[in-house]
Amino acid sequence: MFNYDVSTEDPTHTIEDDRRRMLGGFIRAQRQVANLSLRQLSAITEISNPYLSQIERGLHEPSIRVLKSIADALNVSSEILFEQAGLINGKEKLGDEATESAIRADQRLSDAQRQALLAVYRSYLESNQTVS
């Protein structure tokens, strides 16, 4: 009987590896929510299919241009992808932008519904500022 010690860590494994895998998983999940195949996303972003696959598997760290293109294609805020990639600190971007990004990214809503929700949300924020 073989005894494998699964608790030993890979000495070459880094936090950056984890970050790339998390970013890739996030992109894959957003692509699936958008009901796009990898080939479709590749065509929309004009990024090669193999490179997108490698990004989703956490094998490559995409450039800002590539992240922006993916964000646009998936209707996700660029800031969200930049945060996932570790390029910005998410705590600095909480609040208005995070809520508005979530509303814009919700594919269950029509464009008109998204715009209406954003208008109501902004009106609440404005009324709260005048009260404070």
pLDDT tens readout for residues 42-62? 999 999 999 999 999 999 889
Note the maximum CA span of the chain. 73
pLDDT of res. 9: 55
Q: Is the model's pLDDT at 6 over the cut of 60? A: no
DSSP assignment of 17-67:
HHHHHHHHHHHHHHHHHTT--HHHHHHHHT--HHHHHHHHTTSS---HHHH
- Amino acid, single-letter form, for residue 70: I
* Predicted confidence band of residue 10 (pLDDT cuts 50, 70, 90): low
The CA distance from 90 to 72, in Å, is 19
- List, for residues 71-103, the tens digit of each pLDDT value: 999 988 888 888 888 777 755 445 557 777 778
Exposure class string for 38-57: b at 16+ Cβ within 10 A, else e: eeebbeebebeeeebeebbe
pLDDT in tens, 21-42: 888 998 999 999 889 999 999 9
Per-residue model confidence (pLDDT) at position 99: 79
Structure confidence at residue 72 (pLDDT):
92
pTM of the model: 0.60
The gap from C-alpha 66 to its chain's centroid, in whole angstroms, comes to 12
CA atoms within 13 A on the CB side of 6: 1
H/E run at residue 93:
none
Distance separating alpha carbons of residues 107 and 32, to the nearest angstrom? 11
- Flag whether pLDDT at 11 surpasses 80: no
